Amino acid sequence: MKKGIFSSRFLLVLCLGLAVSLFLGAKKTKKEPEPLLKESILDGLRWRCIGPSNMGGRIDDFAVVESNPKIIYAGTASGGVWKTTNNGVTWEPIFDDQITSTIGDVTVAPSNPGIIWVGTGEPNNRQSSSWGDG
């Protein structure tokens, strides 16, 4: 009788051990997430030089009209002052008729959002920008 109980317990432990090892050993296959950008989209593109080697196009400062945050002014290192009225979707230059296009600072007058103060010249001078006119 003892032999039968021992055999039953042994068989039960063996079956439970096998079941647990199968359960723990089974790998759940995770589906790989799709890439955000399919490489085939870029297949037709080739590297090319798109501009001079100097550092033009840098934005030195920007100012936001507090009463209307959709209006933003950007002062660039070598491209003047730009204005957007639609949160940056489109920009227009507003400093083209001035003597210098190198901007170091731009701010909106707190007393009147229609007045923009611009500091010409760029403190991080490079070959692509000048020291300004004051």
Greater model confidence, 126 or 16: 16
Residue 97 included in any domain: yes
- Identify whether 101 is part of a domain: yes
> Do the domain assignments include residue 52?
no
Q: Residue 32: inside a domain, yes or no? A: no
Domain that holds residue 95: 59-120
For residue 6, being part of any structural domain is answered with no
pLDDT at 91: 95
Query: Mean pLDDT for the chain?
Result: 80
Q: Mean pLDDT, to the nearest integer, of 59-77?
A: 93
Question: Both tokens of residue 116?
Answer: 């923009």
Report pLDDT digits (tens) over 80-126: 999 999 999 999 999 988 888 888 899 999 999 999 999 987 666 65
Interval 2-14 mean pLDDT = 69
Instruction: Please tell me the predicted confidence (pLDDT) of residue 66.
Output: 94
The domain total for the chain is 1
Report the C-alpha gap between 73 and 83 in whole angstroms: 5
Distance from C-alpha of 60 to C-alpha of 106, rounded to nearest angstrom? 9
Strand runs (DSSP E) across the chain, as ranges?
59-64, 72-76, 81-84, 92-93, 103-108, 116-120
The set of residues, in sequence order, having a beta carbon less than 8 Å from that of 121 and lying 6+ positions away, is: 100, 102, 103, 104, 130, 131, 132, 133, 134
